[in-house]
Structure 1
Amino acid sequence: MSAPTSAASSTSSSDKVSVMLAIYEKKTISIDLYDPLRKYISNIYSEREAQAQEDDLNALRELRFDLEKPSSTDPLSTRRDLLQSYFRALSAVESRFPISPDRSHINTLDFTWFDAFKSSKKATQKNIHFEKAGVLFNLGAVYSQIALSCDRSDAPGLKQACNSFQTSAGAFAFLRDNVAGKVAIGGTTTVDVSAECVGMLERLMLAQAQECFFEKVIADGKPPGLCSKVARQVSLYYEDAFKALNSAPLSQHFDRSWISHMQLKASQFYAEACYRASLDLHQKEEIAEEIARLKSGTNALTDAKKSVKRVAPSLLDSVGRLESNMKRNLERAMKENDRVYLMRVPALDSLEPIPAASLVKPASLSEIFDASKERWFANLIPDNSAKALSRYTEMVDDIIRTQAEKLQEESEITRVKLKEMDLPESVLALEGNLSLPIDLKEEVEDVQVIGGPSSLEAELQQLRDLKRVNQELLVQTEDLLKKEETEDIQFRTHFGTRYNRPESSTMTKNLKDRLNRFAANIKQASDSDARIERAVKDNFDLMAILDIRPIESALPNLARPIMSLDGNEDAILGSLKQSLRQLETLGAQRAGLEDMLKDMKRKDDILPKLMATAGSSEDLFRKEISKYDNICEEIAQNINAQEQLLLQIQVQNGEFAAMFNLEDYKVSREKCYKQISAAMAKFREIKNNINEGLKFYVTLQDAITNVKQQCSEFVTARSLQYKDMLESVQTQFAGLNFPPDGKQPGYNYPSASQPNPSTVADPRITSRPRPSYSYMLPSNPVTPQPSNYNYVSTGLNNPPNMPPRDLNDRSQSQPLPVSYTYPSSVPPHNFTGPQNLPNMSLQVDPRSYNYPASMPQTNPRHVYSHSQQYPSYGVQQQPHNGGGLYQPQPQPQRSTQSGYGRSTYNGNNQYYNNNASSQQQSGPPYPRPPYSIPTPDSYQGGGPAGYYKNQ
């Protein structure tokens, strides 16, 4: 075995060079990483993924090839960078590719490395840790070579050498702590990568780094006491290395020259420490101890020189010069003591150990070995790594959740306690910054936006206008029936027995009853309107507070005391305000801390580090989770500061309340709150009553309009019948063709029990086509029902403006336009026959009238000829089998929309009872709130009560 590589470049007390050592690299055998790794990717992931990793696989193979055959022309820095890059790549491979003898793993890779100190010995393992151990050893060796190549004669070179020795020690320490144990359990290995060997090399590199510092303090002319401490630490590091070399398994593995070198270097720097200590003692005139230190140092050198063999001659020369200097000083000191000081020299074993000062340590290689920034096989994430990442995420989430709950809890505690102390409202009230509770303030602002209590008068006027429109419409409808009844009486008087159609009073009884109920409803509604107007007048003063703008100006002011005994109001108020500002600052800090926690979690991505970590993931988790410790500590400090500040505020608020008579102010303010709330409640009540009334009048107007349309159709049909009968009578008189039974032809009126005969064709009918109208007459028409007040969902929104209608611009046969709709619960009134009336006890009989061809067809009906029998109103008629003129026809539905957004009252369903004397359905005398009338057929008889709640 060869001697250790060495170079001399340092000066000491001998004023000559000092010998240091460097380490040779380990040798290896070529191996191809490409094929086994690619096959594994293809089998475990996919062929497509294997193709995607081609670049990384080729780059890894290239790094291994360069590692196997170092170039003698490349600088040491290039070799260093290659080893570092390859080690980071191995870390990425380790976390993604299981390499071991196991059949399910990659078991075709055999890593072979030779011993650095006995090149004839080698070991092979299917273990990636063995490969990493070889790389780490070579990295430490390269750093030692870099250090030895530095020119230590100047300060920059000396500093670089010292740093390189420390980095070399760091590489050997990392190998000992993280890899050597895994290599030992992987099978046969070499001694050079054992924990004992790399530990010895670490101490050697530290000794040489400390020696660089000794050279520096000597060159800088530092005090002898400091130089002694530095030299003593050099000797201690060499002593540790010497002890390791003298122990198994290293004692039989290393050449004797290594042991001799370590022993002599340890003795040299122990003697150097004694020499520097003696110089310091001489300056202090402590001659006796000076003599003892010089004797101790020379004895150590003498003993070492006797036992060492095969050491570098330059080292022996350096030791000899040091020994000569020490003996010369010893002779001088002994003469001075004998002649002048006459002090007793202490025994050598009684001397205190020379203190040591360590100025070096193994350099951390965490950043150098950090593969998290590398992109090696970034898309390959094994299941165990994904599970580990999930576990870490849960740990972080638990921290975030716990701390966020603490922050929120403290914020809520602050809010509740300030609310109990009426802060900061009471302080703001003293400064004139009054405030209402948020919900009450919003309600008042909503009222003020729509005009406040003053807007109620305009809505009352809308009620009056709608009532007037309904009254006028009712009068017009009654006039239609009266006019028709008058004509019927005149015709009956004129024609006598030849006028055999039913009397109008019999046929219009139900219509008149409905109109009477409408009139009763209007009267009841008028009473409710009057109650509303009285309520507005009686409560206007109460609601006047809602017109004050801003509403906060209605609140009482918190005034300063008229008389003050000690005049410290400003001091009390100032201290309280200062504490509140501090509390606000703490609250802002809590918000910032919570945001900081969330931001840290968002940026906390440890997957690259997890994939690059060769060791236990738990170690990584502990390290990474520790970065949340500082912010958790800040949160705890914030919470503690808030608790102390709240206690202080409670004391200050007690003084403030006593000084400014706060309790009386709270009573008056609460009274004002109640007054505003009472005004709001009354305003809402009146507003809702008005809205109820508006809805009722709109609904009633639609119902009256529908009845008016029915009356118009009835009058038109009666008029056509009269004309047809008049033509027939004139024809009979002109032809003197009287029937034997004295009845007019074509007018055979059956009784209620007789079926309707077939219709006789008339050439006048065929020559003058007429539209067909089909009537479906209900058995129990009912009227709208006003009811008591109920709060409705419209809230404070005004109904749309409803101007009075002009009722004189339409013919009697057309329905009035409907500008309002029913509530959403009202179904559209579109009936085509009895089958459309489930769950209703109504009987419908189709009716038919003769209309002129020129009559507007707003509601198509069947026509019948003058020779048909006139149907009996109130008597159910049976249509002919197979269909005919009496078949019910589908009714077109009106789709007029109004401001209320609901379907209009179409007016196309039944309006006659099947019998004039049939019994009306029982029920309440007015509609249920909010005055929605399901269908015109559901109207019941009027009652004495109004549609509003009694005031």
Structure 2
Amino acid sequence: MASPSSSANVMLAIFEKKTVSLDLYRPLRNYIVFNYSEREAQNLEDDLQTIKQYRSEIERVPADSLPARRDMLQNYYKALCAVESRFPISPDKDHINSVYFTWYDTFKIKQKAVQQNIHLEKAAVLFNLGAVHSQMGLSLDRSAVEGRRQASMGTSTTVDMSVECAGMLERLMLAQAQECVFENTIAKGSTPGVCAKISRQVGIYYEEALAALNVAPLTYHFDKGWLAHVQLKAALFYAEACYRYGMELHEKEEIAEEIARLKSGISALSEAKKTSSKGAAQQLLDAINKLDANLNQNLARAVKENDRVYLMRVPQASSLPPLPAFAMVKPMPMNDVLDASKEKMFASLVPDNSAKALSRYTEMVDDVIRAQAERLQQGSELARVKLKEMDLPDSILALEGNLTLPMALKEDVDAVQICGGPAGLEAELQQLNDLKRVNQELLIQTEELLQKEATEDAQFRSQFGTRWTRPQSSTLTKNLQDRLNRFAGNLKQAAESDTRIERSVRDHAALMSILDRRPIESALPTLARPIMSLDANEDAIAGALKQSLVRRVNEAT
């Protein structure tokens, strides 16, 4: 029998968010002049004018073709990425604090968001880009095969200001894209089994969109016509799948299950018509009535044949396995399209985060130099005092067998020996390896728990269908997954640092062995006579050397 889909092809389009007039040119230029120079601002005039033009086009009611509007939104988004990395926009007094981004809710025009945060601007532009893609898909001629194919590609993704709304709109766009594939499948004359699988997936996408619309924060946020449209489409394509699957069952002479499937489809349509809100398109209502008539016609035929020929017991619909489904569409990746890494705008300016890092580095270098200079000065002063207090300098005392370590070095050696010396260091390294292994095991266990949770969510979603209204596992665990990835990166860096330390310890093992000697002075090389080639009395030379050193110390002080 003919499919009712030809009269059910009314779909929903997403319209762009509205904003208010905003001057980005003047605040950005002032920032460049204040932090760089007037010459730099003049050199970047073209980039500033481009940003000004993009923002002006965003504010106007779209009059260009949809592809041109799409390209403009993409270009503005990449320009915003360049602005974000070089111009700090926030309420802070040292930032650009005169820019207020204002955007109105698409579905509740009286609601608006106002922020001094460029992330709001970027999110709104991405939302409008998704809206344009949805309009491009619905503007194509879906009466032809190529038009349906392009439409299924054009409505495959969207982004919104909240996770919940973005997820709902994504499901809705996937549903409409899969619906285009279904129309194409019917036009090609595919088998009832194939049509049933594709139709069922259309219904699943609509059911997921409906579930999101019925929970906070989307409840009561959308027009009743939207709810009615999505609810009726979900029922229509579930019933369509029952209708197509029933045709395949009839060919296999599985009459009892055919009757159960047809009754289930009729029941779904009846329930949807009774519970859905008003506001659905008449075209959609006509399609539902036509499909309902076809289901009842096939049901009457199947019941008559079963009563006269097969005499099979008709099972309850609840005892039947879920209808098979097959997805033919997926979200379109936008990473390459929106990649701003090659954006040349404001390239001559040092990015704000780099400038801050350079400033911090300069401060750190200054602190190190200042600390070392102070330490050198203190050491010099201490050396002058010590040399003045000593009757003989250290070099002369060493010849007399009175070798001692400087007090600071002696304290460091004592501290290392108290901790166990080289053996203690080896124990610390082993403990580091043990901790690294434990952390790696915890990382693996956490990854397994997240994967288990995702698997269970998928099982429950498959088992309970629309009754399972919890958001997607990937949405709920995204923050955990991001933190897990960061922890894995930190763990890798720590392991590399530990490896370098262990290599350094191994390279200096021979030198470090002297730390096991007590007292440490017994391991140090000593000065012994003769320390030089002498052709006179050694005591006379040593005395002359002593007098010379003392004289120099006195001169220095």
1:279 aligns with 2:247: yes
Q: For residues 300-449 of structure 1, what are the structure 2 equivalents within 5 Å?
A: 300-308=268-276, 309-382=278-351, 384-385=353-354
Structure 2 letter corresponding to 1:288: A
Distance 1:140 1:92 in 2: 21
Q: Report the Cα offset of residue 45 of structure 1.
A: 2.1
Question: Cα gap change, 1:388/1:276 in structure 2, threshold over 3 Å: closer, same or farther?
Answer: farther
Distance 1:298 1:291 in 2: 11
Alignment counterpart, residue 73 of structure 2, candidates 83, 87, 100: 83
Question: Cα gap change, 1:26/1:98 in structure 2, threshold over 3 Å: closer, same or farther?
Answer: same
Question: Cα gap change, 1:45/1:153 in structure 2, threshold over 3 Å: closer, same or farther?
Answer: same
Distance 2:311 2:132 in 1: 56
What per-residue deviation string (whole Å, max 9, x for no partner) do you get for residues 328-366 of structure 1?
Answer: 000000110111111111111100001111111110011
1:111 aligned residue: 101
Distance 2:253 2:333 in 1: 44
What per-residue deviation string (whole Å, max 9, x for no partner) do you get for residues 746-768 of structure 1?
Answer: xxxxxxxxxxxxxxxxxxxxxxx
Question: Cα gap change, 1:71/1:21 in structure 2, threshold over 3 Å: closer, same or farther?
Answer: closer
Question: Cα gap change, 1:71/1:211 in structure 2, threshold over 3 Å: closer, same or farther?
Answer: closer
Task: Identify the structure with the greater helix proportion.
Answer: 2
What per-residue deviation string (whole Å, max 9, x for no partner) do you get for residues 433-485 of structure 1?
Answer: xxxxxxxxxxxxxxxxxxxxxxxxxxxxxxxxxxxxxxxxxxxxxxxxxxxxx
Alignment counterpart, residue 210 of structure 1, candidates 150, 153, 178: 178
Q: Give me the identity figure in percent.
A: 60
1:267 aligns with 2:248: no
What SS does the aligned partner of 1:105 have?
A: coil
Distance 1:358 1:12 in 2: 20
**What stretches of structure 1 move > 6 A for 4+ residues in a row?**
386-389
Distance 1:383 1:55 in 2: 20
1:48 aligns with 2:17: no
Residue segments in structure 1 that go unaligned for 5+ positions in a row? 1-10, 176-192, 390-617, 626-951
Q: For residues 868-879 of structure 1, what are the structure 2 equivalents within 5 Å?
A: none
Distance 2:50 2:6 in 1: 51
2:131 aligned residue: 141
Residue segments in structure 2 that go unaligned for 5+ positions in a row? 359-481, 490-557
What per-residue deviation string (whole Å, max 9, x for no partner) do you get for residues 358-387 of structure 1?
Answer: 111110011110112221111112363479
Alignment counterpart, residue 130 of structure 1, candidates 120, 124, 148: 120
Structure 1 letter corresponding to 2:51: L
Q: Out of 320-329 and 374-383, give the one that drifted further.
A: 374-383
Alignment counterpart, residue 93 of structure 1, candidates 48, 63, 83: 83
Q: Report the Cα offset of residue 221 of structure 1.
A: 1.2
What SS does the aligned partner of 1:19 have?
A: coil
Structure 2 letter corresponding to 1:40: Y
State whether residues 114 and 120 of structure 1, in contact with CA within 8 Å, keep that contact through their aligned partners in structure 2: yes
2:9 aligned residue: 18
What SS does the aligned partner of 2:103 have?
A: strand
2:424 aligned residue: none
State whether residues 110 and 126 of structure 1, in contact with CA within 8 Å, keep that contact through their aligned partners in structure 2: yes
Question: Cα gap change, 1:57/1:383 in structure 2, threshold over 3 Å: closer, same or farther?
Answer: closer
1:163 aligned residue: 153
Q: Out of 375-384 and 354-363, give the one that drifted further.
A: 375-384
Distance 1:14 1:202 in 2: 22
Structure 2 letter corresponding to 1:322: L
1:70 aligned residue: 61
Q: For residues 735-754 of structure 1, what are the structure 2 equivalents within 5 Å?
A: none
Count residues with an aligned counterpart: 362
Distance 1:140 1:12 in 2: 31
Distance 2:62 2:220 in 1: 32
What per-residue deviation string (whole Å, max 9, x for no partner) do you get for residues 183-211 of structure 1?
Answer: xxxxxxxxxx2221121111100100011
1:250 aligns with 2:241: no
Distance 2:130 2:47 in 1: 26
What per-residue deviation string (whole Å, max 9, x for no partner) do you get for residues 112-170 of structure 1?
Answer: 1111112222221111011111111111111111111100111111111111101xx1x
Q: For residues 168-187 of structure 1, what are the structure 2 equivalents within 5 Å?
A: 169=157, 171-172=158-159, 175=160
Q: Report the Cα offset of residue 14 of structure 1.
A: 5.2
Structure 2 letter corresponding to 1:88: K
State whether residues 200 and 326 of structure 2, in contact with CA within 8 Å, keep that contact through their aligned partners in structure 1: yes
State whether residues 14 and 321 of structure 1, in contact with CA within 8 Å, keep that contact through their aligned partners in structure 2: no
Q: Report the Cα offset of residue 24 of structure 1.
A: 1.3
Question: Cα gap change, 1:12/1:85 in structure 2, threshold over 3 Å: closer, same or farther?
Answer: farther
Q: Report the Cα offset of residue 12 of structure 1.
A: 4.0
Question: Cα gap change, 1:15/1:204 in structure 2, threshold over 3 Å: closer, same or farther?
Answer: closer
Q: Report the Cα offset of residue 48 of structure 1.
A: 2.0
Distance 1:249 1:121 in 2: 14
What SS does the aligned partner of 2:114 have?
A: strand
State whether residues 186 and 195 of structure 2, in contact with CA within 8 Å, keep that contact through their aligned partners in structure 1: yes
Distance 2:316 2:167 in 1: 36
1:30 aligned residue: 21
Alignment counterpart, residue 191 of structure 2, candidates 223, 227, 242: 223
State whether residues 197 and 326 of structure 2, in contact with CA within 8 Å, keep that contact through their aligned partners in structure 1: yes
State whether residues 97 and 106 of structure 1, in contact with CA within 8 Å, keep that contact through their aligned partners in structure 2: yes
Structure 2 letter corresponding to 1:233: Q
What SS does the aligned partner of 2:337 have?
A: helix
Distance 2:164 2:94 in 1: 34
Q: Report the Cα offset of residue 225 of structure 1.
A: 1.1
Distance 2:114 2:56 in 1: 18
State whether residues 88 and 352 of structure 2, in contact with CA within 8 Å, keep that contact through their aligned partners in structure 1: no
Distance 1:65 1:59 in 2: 10
State whether residues 234 and 266 of structure 1, in contact with CA within 8 Å, keep that contact through their aligned partners in structure 2: yes
Q: Report the Cα offset of residue 234 of structure 1.
A: 0.6
Q: For residues 605-620 of structure 1, what are the structure 2 equivalents within 5 Å?
A: none
1:837 aligned residue: none
Q: For residues 659-678 of structure 1, what are the structure 2 equivalents within 5 Å?
A: none
Please tell me whether Structure 1 or Structure 2 has the larger radius of gyration of its CA atoms.
Answer: 1
Q: Report the Cα offset of residue 13 of structure 1.
A: 3.4
Structure 2 letter corresponding to 1:259: L
Structure 2 letter corresponding to 1:274: C
Q: For residues 699-848 of structure 1, what are the structure 2 equivalents within 5 Å?
A: none
Distance 1:346 1:46 in 2: 81
Distance 1:33 1:13 in 2: 52
Question: Cα gap change, 1:226/1:385 in structure 2, threshold over 3 Å: closer, same or farther?
Answer: farther
What per-residue deviation string (whole Å, max 9, x for no partner) do you get for residues 90-116 of structure 1?
Answer: 011111111111111111101111111
State whether residues 105 and 112 of structure 2, in contact with CA within 8 Å, keep that contact through their aligned partners in structure 1: yes
Distance 2:243 2:269 in 1: 12
What SS does the aligned partner of 1:345 have?
A: coil
Alignment counterpart, residue 290 of structure 1, candidates 250, 255, 258: 258
What per-residue deviation string (whole Å, max 9, x for no partner) do you get for residues 709-748 of structure 1?
Answer: xxxxxxxxxxxxxxxxxxxxxxxxxxxxxxxxxxxxxxxx
Structure 2 letter corresponding to 1:206: L
Q: Report the Cα offset of residue 388 of structure 1.
A: 8.5
1:195 aligned residue: 163
State whether residues 29 and 41 of structure 2, in contact with CA within 8 Å, keep that contact through their aligned partners in structure 1: yes
What per-residue deviation string (whole Å, max 9, x for no partner) do you get for residues 838-890 of structure 1?
Answer: xxxxxxxxxxxxxxxxxxxxxxxxxxxxxxxxxxxxxxxxxxxxxxxxxxxxx
Question: Cα gap change, 1:112/1:378 in structure 2, threshold over 3 Å: closer, same or farther?
Answer: same
Q: TM-score, normalised by structure 1?
A: 0.37
Q: Out of 378-387 and 222-231, give the one that drifted further.
A: 378-387
